Amino acid sequence: MRFWQKTLVLMLVLFVVVLDVSVIMIMNKSWRLNMNREQQRAASDHALIANSIYENLNSIKSRGMRINDTILLDVARSYGEYYRERGISLQLSNQDAPVYAEPSEPSARHISVTNELPAPYGYLQLTYRRDIEALYAGQDELNRYFVYINCISIPVLAALMYVLIRKLTKPLQSLADSTKSIAEGNYGQRVQLKNRDEFGELAQHFNRMADAVERQVTDLSAMAEEKQRMVDNLAHELRTPLTSLQGFAQYLNAAHIDEEERITASGYLWSETLRLKNLVFKLLDLSILSHQPVKRSRIPVVELFESVRRMEQANLDAAGIELILDADIPAVWGDRELLESFLVNCLENSIHASTPGLEIKLAAYEQDAAAVLEVTDSGRGMSAAHLERVFEPFYRVDHARSREHGGAGLGLALCRQIAEAHQAQLSLKSEEQKGTTIQLILQLHNNGPLTL
């Protein structure tokens, strides 16, 4: 049985029971009051008739007449005939011997009062009976009316309570529908209630809970997709060099190859082994950054830039590109090795995107109370579609050129990890055929090392 049905049945039963019990108690009280009133009236009438007979007997006695049964019968008959027309019957007894009695049998529903007459007639007993059939008939009519009212009011009350309870429990049905929809996977479902009562508060709390669940599910789905994409990309990256290594190893085992072919095959083995090593090291760097805190120290910018220049000088010379250093601030706070790795990765991307004769600029300056490390080139740049995914692991803007230089698409993913480890902002602006600028914005660099 549903909640509204239980509520309807319980409320209806409770209401009918309480109402009927109350009405029955009122009717019983009214009946007792009416009976008391009739009994008081009977006692009063008996006293009045007894006094009248007493006065009549005294009057007869004062005239010198002796009070005998004949006179008592005449007196009692005269009073009996008078009150019979008013529904009252009288009986007069002389020491338990009947002197006068009504000829008809009294009604089964009557009030009877028997008492002695005042002295000196105390040996006479007067019995007063009055028919109260009309009182019982009125009570029976009232009982029938009560049943009639019940037969009409209960269906009407049930209909009104059905409408009222269905309206009151409608928000519960809305909540149940929304919960069912979310349980079936529709996490965007919300409860549309504008009530200002407890149901309205419950709907607001429910919607906030649904928002949190939707965010969690979206985040978990994104994480699952990213992990799956990383696994797919890693498998793809490993398959190519491993296949090459297997092929060149078989080639070296061949019986008839000359020295020049052996050197060529050995070179390919070396380059593929180097690519695998770089791939493994990059993955290790990403794993370490996600599990270890960063130890910050003051790093002179000039020393940082010169270190990066020494590491990349051979690649710059091979590509025919000039590196320009511009340090407007003396130092930054951070992990020296990680910041060198950040600049090296950005610098290698700029070298691969640039043509001989162009320039790449490493700059450090203060902007809005932050230290900015910036790498700018005037190479091929990237489209807006590439900018949205360029920080994803194993994502390459130019697949052929990246493989040519041994890249696996992990450089900018590592840069993002370094920025997050420093609680820094990462900005990338690029325009096709005009160049790319990447910025690492280190906050509060002048206030000393931060505690992670």
Single residue among 259, 291, 323 that ends a domain in this structure = 291
**Cα torsion through 88, 89, 94, 100, rounded to 10:** 130
d(CA 76, CA 83): 11
Range 102-117 average pLDDT: 81
Q: Are residues 264 and 359 in the same domain?
A: no
The mean per-residue pLDDT over the stretch 165-178 comes to 84
For residue 2, give Cα distances in angstroms to 8, 174, 178, 452: 10, 14, 17, 55
Is the pLDDT at 365 greater than 90? The verdict is yes
**Tokens 């007196």 found at:** 75
Task: Give the pLDDT of residue 452.
Answer: 37
Largest CA distance in the chain: 181
Distance CA 126, CA 96 (A): 10
Does residue 120 share a domain with residue 51? yes
Lowest mean pLDDT among 42-56, 97-111, 194-208, 346-360: 97-111
Q: What is the mean pLDDT of residues 397-405?
A: 56
CA distances from 102 to 42, 70, 76, 83, 125 (A): 17, 16, 10, 11, 15
Q: With the C-alpha atoms ordered 152, 158, 159, 160, is the resulting torsion angle positive or negative?
A: positive
Task: Please report whether residue 168 resides in a domain.
Answer: no
Q: Are residues 314 and 361 in the same domain?
A: yes
CA distance 150 to 180: 41
Identify whether the C-beta of residue 285 lies closer than 8 Å to the C-beta of residue 341: yes
Of 276, 201, 217, the residue nearest 246 (C-alpha):
276
If one counts the domains in the chain, the total is 3
Of the candidates 266, 291, 316, which is a domain's last residue?
A: 291
pLDDT value of residue 404: 54
Say yes or no: 275 and 407 in one domain.
no
How many angstroms separate the Cα of 293 from the Cα of each of 13, 45, 260, 287, 339? 68, 110, 50, 12, 14
My answer on whether 438 and 374 are in the same domain is yes
Pair (95, 211) in one structural domain: no
CA distance 157 to 15: 9
Taking the model in full, what pTM does it have? Answer: 0.49
- What is the rounded distance in angstroms from the CA atom of residue 114 to the CA atom of residue 337? 124
The pLDDT of residue 446? 45
Q: pLDDT tens digit string along 75-85?
A: 998 998 888 88
CATH number of the domain bearing residue 229? 1.10.287.130
What region does 188 belong to: left with phi over 0, alpha with psi -120 to 50, or beta?
alpha
The reply to whether 36 falls in a domain is yes
- Of 111, 136, 161, the last residue of a domain is 136
Mean pLDDT of 29-53: 93
206 and 272, same domain (yes or no): yes
Structure tokens at 51: 């006094």
Is it true that the peptide bond before 330 is cis, omega within 30 degrees of 0? no
Give yes or no for residue 194 having a pLDDT over 90: no
In whole angstroms, give the CA distance from residue 317 to residue 364: 23
DSSP code per residue over 209-232: HHHHHHHHHHHHHHHHHHHHHHHH
159 in a structural domain: no
Q: Which domain holds residue 388?
A: 294-443
Q: Are residues 340 and 406 in the same domain?
A: yes
Question: Which residue is listed with tokens 């089964």?
Answer: 108
- Same domain as 128, residue 49: yes
- Position 68 scores a pLDDT of 85
The rounded percent of the chain whose pLDDT value lies above 90 is 29
Predicted confidence (pLDDT) at residue 37 exceeds the cutoff of 50: yes
| Residue 16 sits in the same domain as residue 73 | yes
Residues 346 and 379 in one domain: yes
Give the pLDDT of residue 413: 82
Give the integer Cα–Cα distance in Å for 285 and 249.
Answer: 30
User: Residue 114: beta bridge partners?
Assistant: 127
432 and 304 both lie in a single domain: yes
CATH number at residue 427: 3.30.565.10
